[in-house]
Amino acid sequence: MRILQIAPLWESVPPPAYGGTEAVVSLLTEELVRRGHDVILAASGDSTTSARLASTFERSLRRADDLRDRAPYDWAHIAAALGLAGEVDIIHNHAGEPAMAMSALVDTPILSTMHCMLTPDTKFIWDRYKGAYNTIGSTQLRNTLPIEGPGWHAGYVHNAIDVDTFPFARDKGEDLLFLSRIAPEKGPEIAIHVARRLGRRLILAGKVDHYDRRFFEEVVRDLIDGEQIVFVGEADAKQKRALYRDAYCLLMPLTWDEPFGLVMPESMACGTPVIAFRRGSAEELIVHGETGFVVDSADEMADAVSAVPSIDPARCREHVRQNFAPAMMAERYLRIYERVIERAGRKAGTPRLDPAAERRDGAGKPLAVA
């Protein structure tokens, strides 16, 4: 099958630190290539992949602080990616609404993955999108705004992690861990409250986006004392694995219905239980009483910490291996691809463009494909 994966331009694929969507795109792309599929990855030029890399900009936008306005680069990225539509059997869009808004310009079947929740403004596009879409959890549609347009839900596919890259440890330290963006919807101040109530040390690890800076300065900063509450900033891939491995447990006091909290399977892969609020995908990802606890309040979260010794670290890792492996994710997406192509009246492998045609971007310049 010939597949175009469109990644967001904001992080490289895979990302060096934060970037759940880009990490998933990388795992999916590599697994599809391993299975022998012809895959083009549309992503930033600093991405690394065994697929053919199509890029219009040499670096991820997060690392382009010299640009005053990054949006035009994102638009060019999407337009150039869709310009490859004639060379593939299906387009898998991970870049959200911009590609959906432009999807009417191509006739290649498209699948858009709902990596984020809808807002009243993005719903405008979802209600006008005619293609297929999938969720990343079974409860995601129930927790978001209703979609009222012609698009159709092709099912759900859980995200995956590469379990073998996460170090397992049966013996744990004593520190509680919060690892996420430092943002209101993630509840870092609630994790701090729990740690203080228990008199335990809490490690806070996460990036502070510019739009969360005010929250960090006004709500979180004064709660950090450097002794009981320790902020280590954004953890890269190596550091976050060490933090997961050594933590007593991971706290996830979410205040929103997160579609898929990738940190939960990442922590469990290291044998570290997760205690999460009953929001979003928590009940899908955690086996209550076996790989962690799903609770309804900060008080219940604090109480659950005392029950962590009842959790078998090996059970945590096995749960992730059985349910969130890249091979499983790829297999489910391939089944959806087949349904989307069939529904569009297509047949995989049927050429629709002269393969010798030169790829060009919106400015008429050749599109770099590595």
Residue 104 sits in the same domain as residue 144: yes
Is the CB of residue 292 less than 8 Å from the CB of residue 262? no
Asked which of 300, 323, 346 is the last residue of a domain, the reply is: 323
Pairing of the two strands 90-93 and 2-6: parallel
**Band of residue 5 on the pLDDT scale cut at 50, 70, 90:** very high
Is the CB of residue 75 less than 8 Å from the CB of residue 95? no
Q: How would DSSP label each residue in 226-237?
A: SSSEEEEE---H
CATH number for the domain that contains residue 143: 3.40.50.2000
The predicted model gives 262-267 an average pLDDT of 96
Range of the domain at 116: 2-160+325-369
Residue 32 sits in the same domain as residue 178: no
Q: Distance from CA of residue 274 to its chain's centroid?
A: 18
Residue 220: DSSP 8-state: I
Supply 115's token pair.
């990596």
Residue 131 sits in the same domain as residue 24: yes
Residue 35 sits in the same domain as residue 177: no
Residue 122 sits in the same domain as residue 182: no
Buried residues in 208-223 as b, exposed as e (16+ CB within 10 A): beeebeebbeeebeeb
- Check residue 349 and give its pLDDT: 65
Residue 172 sits in the same domain as residue 287: yes
How many domains are there within the chain? Answer: 2
- d(CA 212, CA 208) in angstroms, rounded, equals 6
Q: Distance from CA of residue 262 to its chain's centroid?
A: 7
Q: What is the mean pLDDT of the chain?
A: 92
Residue 366: DSSP 8-state: B
Per residue in 7-35, pLDDT (tens digit) is 999 999 998 877 789 999 999 999 999 99
Residue 116 sits in the same domain as residue 208: no
- Check residue 86 and give its pLDDT: 95
Residue 75 sits in the same domain as residue 176: no
Q: Using CA of residue 41, residue 44, residue 45, residue 48, what is the dihedral sign?
A: negative
Gyration radius from the chain CA atoms: 21
Residue 188 sits in the same domain as residue 244: yes
Amino acid identity, position 304? A
Per residue in 61-112, pLDDT (tens digit) is 887 888 889 899 999 999 999 999 999 999 999 999 999 999 999 999 999 9
- d(CA 199, CA 230) in angstroms, rounded, equals 13
Closest CA to 115 of 323, 283, 258, 15: 258
Q: By percentage, how much of the chain surpasses pLDDT 90?
A: 85
Residue 18 sits in the same domain as residue 142: yes
Supply 306's token pair.
């005392």
Q: How would DSSP label each residue in 93-138?
A: E-S-HHHHHHGGG--S-EEEEE-S---TTTHHHHTT--SEEEESST
Asked which of 307, 323, 339 is the last residue of a domain, the reply is: 323
Closest CA to 317 of 169, 193, 191: 169
Amino acid identity, position 112? S
Residue 6 sits in the same domain as residue 154: yes
Amino acid identity, position 338? E
Residue 52 sits in the same domain as residue 135: yes
